Amino acid sequence: MFRLTFRFLGLLLLAAAFAALVIDGTRSIAGGMLSLTPLGQTMLWLMPDKFPVLKPQVQHALPPLLWDPVMVHVLAAPTWLVIGVLGLFVLLVTQKRRPPIGYSSRGP
């Protein structure tokens, strides 16, 4: 049951990544130049009241070395890339294991 739920979540994340890619592509075509929306800007657009409060809390909870080089680069990465990688990771983790080669699952 949990595998089904997480696989559905992974597919939703991939669909959201595709939608973000289409939005960036449309903006790029309309503007005549490459336009990528960073994850930080998307989060600010989705949570305008909570995102400024979230930043100090995450800085306090994470070690300083993890915030500055890692989270700053993740928030600067394109939204479709971060969500797509997360969705692929969820789908790969919840994938069924394949039976080993050379062993039969049938009875004797």
Which has the closest alpha carbon to 3: 106, 93, 99, 102? 93
Asked if 20 and 37 count as a contact pair (C-beta separation under 8 A), the reply is yes
Mean pLDDT of 9-28: 96
Of the candidate ranges 32-36, 74-78, 88-92, 96-100, the one whose mean pLDDT is the lowest: 96-100
Q: Where are the domains of the chain?
A: 1-37+78-95, 38-77
Which pLDDT score is estimated for 108?
A: 61
User: What pLDDT digit, counting tens, does each position of 51-86 carry?
Assistant: 888 878 888 888 878 877 888 899 999 999 999 999
Instruction: Report H helices in 1-108.
Output: 2-31, 39-46, 51-61, 64-65, 72-76, 79-93
- 4, two tokens: 């089904």
> How far does the chain reach from its first CA to its final CA, in angstroms?
31
CA dist., res. 58 & res. 41, Å (int): 17
In this prediction, residue 51 carries a pLDDT of 87
Residue 35: alpha-carbon gap to chain centroid: 19
